[in-house]
């Protein structure tokens, strides 16, 4: 009897899982389910080059390889519930699908601020529709308030400045990108943004949004929970110290939450994504794996602590190992005893800067050293744990990229 694998999530992680399942010899039915209407596309450009130009699916779509031409894509409907014992999922359109194997690839959703006030004119950047709606408002002279100074917030700030906007960034931290980069490199990047005309109001949060209810009769913006806001067009924000920032458009870049509500009731640890073992099996359950940034797994390259990783390389890396585990569970392959030890990788484009990182800089935040160059120009920064290099962040030095990446690779690894 032919087997069926259901992939819950039709973004990059879901696509890569389908590809690896076919590459591993699975010939049964694969059904990928996604709440968006688009086939899988690349999300990082949505806050960078795609946002700076016309936002289209064609510009960011992944090429579908011939191996996945027979995958069934059920788009525009989300998975709303699962019964892992009965091996079945229920969809928003009322359909129910049984499966032999399940791939959890539902990823993240953007957080929204709970501060009161109008919602029209407030944006997040996660989907094509999000980026398209924001792009329409990023006109020359627009007053743009970016809330959050992480990578997405800083990328949007840089893009908005490039489009002629007047940009203010508000965040509770003392420096932009503080957690992944540390105080010194974060401060250096702040200076680069300020040289481009971005204003930072750090160490502050939003108390409430301001607006004129006569400007709109909408109950809220698309996808915005009605309980978090009121009708009307946002015109600014009052901060925790009483400062008032005027704005024509607001971007909320305040982090993400795992899309795991549909898995409730199955006795899983969903406290931060989906808890998996090192082989990406969900809490050791045969026939259920997770991929991408929703998966929380231990990486013995560093330690035995299970963590989620929200880097661009992770969907591909986790899909490769999760597919192998699932194929073994379904009797199509032997179990791979080697530990799964991915090297997280990310990059960020801000103005003419290409910031690249390898490893886990956040694990070496107590011992940060400049390895080459200086913070005012091209620089390589190393992050150490117990005197061991665990992460590298580079601005410039493209010829040295392979050398520093290799320095992170030969870490002794035991099963």
Q: Report phi then psi at 190, rounded to 5.
A: -60, -45
Contact 381, 368 (CB under 8 A): yes
In this prediction, residue 284 carries a pLDDT of: 78
Q: What is the pTM of this model?
A: 0.93
CA dist 269 and 342 (Å) reads 22
- What was the pLDDT predicted at 48? 87
Collect all residues with Cβ–Cβ distance below 8 Å to 386 and sequence separation of at least 6. none
User: What are the beta bridge partners of residue 234?
Assistant: 211
Report the share of the chain in percent with pLDDT over 70.
Answer: 93
CATH of span 352-408: 3.30.390.30
**pLDDT digit string (tens) for 353-409?**
899 999 999 999 999 999 999 999 999 999 999 999 999 999 999 999 999 999 986
Instruction: Please count the other Cβ atoms lying within 10 Å of the Cβ belonging to residue 80.
Output: 14
Residue 389 has a CB neighbour count (10 Å cut-off) of 19
| CB distance 112 to 252 below 8 Å | yes
Q: Measure the CA–CA gap between 346 and 310, rounded to whole angstroms.
A: 9
Residues forming a β-bridge with 89: 82, 97
Report yes or no: 109 and 256 within 8 Å, Cβ to Cβ. Answer: yes
Strand order of the β-sheet with 199-202 is: 122-123, 249-252, 143-147, 166-171, 199-202
Tokens representing residue 228 in the block: 């978090």
pLDDT of residue 218: 43
Report pLDDT for 312.
86
Per the CB < 8 A criterion, the answer to whether 404 and 392 are in contact is yes
Quick one: 4-109+257-329 is in which CATH superfamily? FAD/NAD(P)-binding domain (3.50.50.60)
Give residue-wise pLDDT tens across range 260-269. Answer: 999 999 999 9
All structural domains of the chain with their residue ranges: 4-109+257-329, 112-254, 352-408
Architecture per CATH, 112-254? 3-Layer(bba) Sandwich (3.50)
**Would 112-254 and 352-408 be classified into the same CATH topology?**
no
The tokens 């940060």 sit on which residue? 368
* Among the ranges given (52-66, 223-237, 392-406), the one the predictor scored with the smallest mean pLDDT: 223-237
């Amino acid at each position: 009897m032919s087997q069926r694998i259901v992939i819950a999530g039709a973004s990059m992680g879901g696509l890569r899982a389908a590809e690896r399942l076919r590459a591993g010899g699975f010939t049964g039915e694969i059904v990928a389910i996604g709440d968006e209407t688009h086939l899988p596309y690349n999300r990082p450009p949505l806050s960078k080059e795609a946002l700076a130009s016309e936002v289209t699916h064609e510009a960011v779509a992944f090429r579908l390889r011939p191996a996945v031409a027979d995958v069934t894509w059920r788009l525009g409907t989300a998975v709303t519930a699962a019964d892992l014992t009965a091996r079945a999922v229920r969809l928003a359109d009322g359909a129910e699908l049984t499966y032999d194997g399940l791939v959890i690839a539902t990823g993240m959703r953007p957080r929204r601020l709970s501060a009161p006030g109008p919602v029209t004119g407030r944006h997040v950047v996660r989907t094509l529709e999000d980026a398209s709606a924001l792009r329409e408002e990023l006109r020359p002279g627009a007053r743009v308030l970016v809330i959050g100074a992480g990578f997405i917030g800083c990328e949007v700030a840089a893009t908005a400045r490039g489009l002629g906007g007047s940009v203010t960034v508000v965040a509770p931290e003392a420096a932009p990108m503080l957690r992944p980069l540390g105080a010194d490199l974060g401060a250096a990047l702040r200076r680069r943004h300020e040289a481009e005309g971005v204003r930072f109001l750090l160490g502050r949060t939003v108390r409430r949004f301001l607006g004129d209810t006569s400007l709109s009769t909408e109950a809220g913006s698309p996808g915005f929970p009605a309980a978090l806001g009121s009708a009307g067009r946002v015109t600014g924000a009052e901060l925790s110290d009483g400062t008032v920032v005027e704005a024509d458009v607001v971007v909320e870049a305040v982090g993400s939450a795992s899309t795991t509500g549909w898995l409730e009731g199955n006795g899983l640890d969903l406290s931060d994504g989906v808890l998996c073992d090192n082989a990406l099996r969900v809490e050791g359950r045969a026939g259920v794996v997770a991929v991408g940034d929703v998966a929380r797994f231990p990486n013995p390259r560093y330690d035995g602590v299970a963590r989620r990783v929200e880097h661009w390389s992770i969907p591909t890396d986790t899909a490769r190992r999760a597919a192998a585990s699932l194929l073994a569970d379904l009797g199509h392959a032997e179990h791979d005893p080697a530990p799964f030890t991915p090297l997280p990788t990310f990059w960020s484009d801000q103005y003419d800067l290409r910031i690249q990182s390898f490893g886990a800089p956040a694990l070496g935040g107590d011992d940060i050293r400049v390895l080459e160059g200086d913070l005012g120009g091209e620089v390589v920064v190393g992050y150490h744990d117990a005197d061991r290099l665990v992460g590298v962040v580079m601005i410039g030095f493209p010829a040295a990229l392979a050398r520093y990446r290799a320095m992170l690779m030969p870490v002794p690894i035991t099963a």
